[in-house]
Amino acid sequence: MRCRKCDSAAVINMRHHKLALCAEHYGEWFVTSTQRTIEKYKMFDHDARILVAVSGGKDSLALWDVLTRLDYQADGLYIGLGIQGDIAYSDQSLARVREFAVQVVPNATLHVVDLEETYGKTIPEISHEKMRGHGKPCSACGLTKRYVMNRLAAERGYDVLATGHNLDDEAAVLMQNTLHWQTGYLARQAPVLPSSDGLAKKVKPFCRFYERETATYALVRGIDYVYDECPHAVGNLTNFYKTLLNQLETESPGAKLQFYIQFLKAREEGFFQAAADKVSVELHACEVCGQPTTAPGRCAFCRMWGITAPHGTLISADAIAVRGEDEFDDVEMRVAESVDVSGL
Ligand code: Q46
Ligand code: ZN
Ligand code: ZN
């Protein structure tokens, strides 16, 4: 198969777009398409300070790369979950993120918040404690990640929080919510969630890209990412729906994209407005940490992590200005030293 633009060998054939491209033209197409999505959904402009949540996987690193190439002011946030399994998952992920930051986005800042250093426990530990050894740690993990992202964005003055969710992620969640007619969740599933009462604006600039498209972009850009999934992702429901949707896509190319795009249209036309009105709840400040919450008194995060004492700036893992390979050791030391847990 040849590239539509230059006749070189194509690295990808996107049947749903009827478009095959070589490495060079695919890289260009991917960056331009991201910009189009950013504009279409009014995600942000060049004045915005953007915080990209980076996990070490292909999607989030590709997102940081593309936003930087598009000249946006994008910094990174890595949250150390303390999930190792047989593959040293968290250690591997942090190593990939650091290497990427130093080599690819040397003018950006990488924030590292290690949960064990900051809050005294890893995700598997807090989850085990709360669930008495039953079930997966994903709910504790999701709640914690959302909290840390919001909190860091607020404390460091970021306007927007960007995540690398792709079309496969979005379509799988959509299918899950639709099969259960979770109208409240459907009302809130969008490429942009506006900021409200101290919660950062959230955006998903890759929501229209298939997973194989972000993987191909990472490949052509030579991004070194963690191939392994989190050990707890194995066998989860989202992956099951992804498999079903892939079967559908094989039979009917473009089905996944249509499913998601038509949902967004229906949503924009107010199809889920009644559900949105019903679930809109008032937020107030957590009496301990000050972060917005719907719960009376302490927020869900403070309750789960057993935080009872008021404190000032809790997350203090210092920002790392990524300056170059030779300062690598320094960086590690500064993070380890700058974590302040005195408020706990
Ligand atoms: S929620 Fe669950 Fe993920 Fe956390 S424990 Fe792993 S699989 S990382 S997106
Ligand atoms: Zn080409
Ligand atoms: Zn709180």
pLDDT tens digit string along 47-105? 999 999 999 999 999 999 999 999 999 999 999 999 998 899 999 999 999 999 999 99
Nearest-atom number in ligand 1 for the CA of 236 is: 7
Residue 339 has pLDDT above 50, yes or no: no
Note the pLDDT of residue 169. 97
For residue 133, the model assigns a pLDDT of 61
Q: How far is the CA of 292 from the centre of ligand 2 (A)?
A: 49
Cα(302) to centroid(ligand 3), Å:
4
Task: Please write the tens of the pLDDT for every residue from 109-121.
Answer: 999 999 999 999 9
Q: Count Cβ neighbours within 10 Å for each residue of 70-106 and write b for 16 or more, e otherwise.
A: eebbbbbbbbbbbbeeebebbebbbebbbbbbbebbe
Q: How far is the CA of 327 from the centre of ligand 1 (A)?
A: 31
Neighbouring residues of the ion ligand 3, judged by CB less than 5 Å: 286, 288-289, 299, 302
The pLDDT assigned to 178 comes to 96
Closest listed residue to residue 97, CA positions, set 337, 332, 338, 336: 332
**214 C-alpha to ligand 2 centroid (Å):** 18
Whole-structure pTM value: 0.90
Atom of ligand 1 nearest to the CA of 139: 1
Distance 255 CA to ligand 2 centre (A): 26
Rounded Cα distance between 317 and 249, Å, is 43
What would the mean pLDDT of 215-235 be, rounded to a whole number? 94
* Ligand 1 neighbours by CB, cut-off 6 Å: 83, 137-138, 141-142, 230, 232-233
State the burial class of residue 198 (Cβ atoms within 10 Å of its Cβ: 0-12, 13-18, 19+). middle
How close is the Cα of 233 to the center of ligand 1, in Å?
6
Closest ligand, as measured to the CA of 2:
2
Pocket test for ligand 1, best of 165, 166, 232 (most atoms within 8 A of CB): 232
**Is the pLDDT confidence value at 330 over 60?**
no
Pocket test for ligand 1, best of 138, 139, 229 (most atoms within 8 A of CB): 138
Q: What order of strands is seen across the sheet that includes strand 160-162? A: 192-193, 201-203, 160-162, 49-53, 73-80, 109-114, 319-321
Reported as a single tens digit per residue, the pLDDT across 228-284 is 999 998 878 899 999 999 999 999 999 999 999 999 999 999 998 888 887 767 888
Please calculate the CA angle 142-300-170 and round it to the nearest 5 degrees: 30
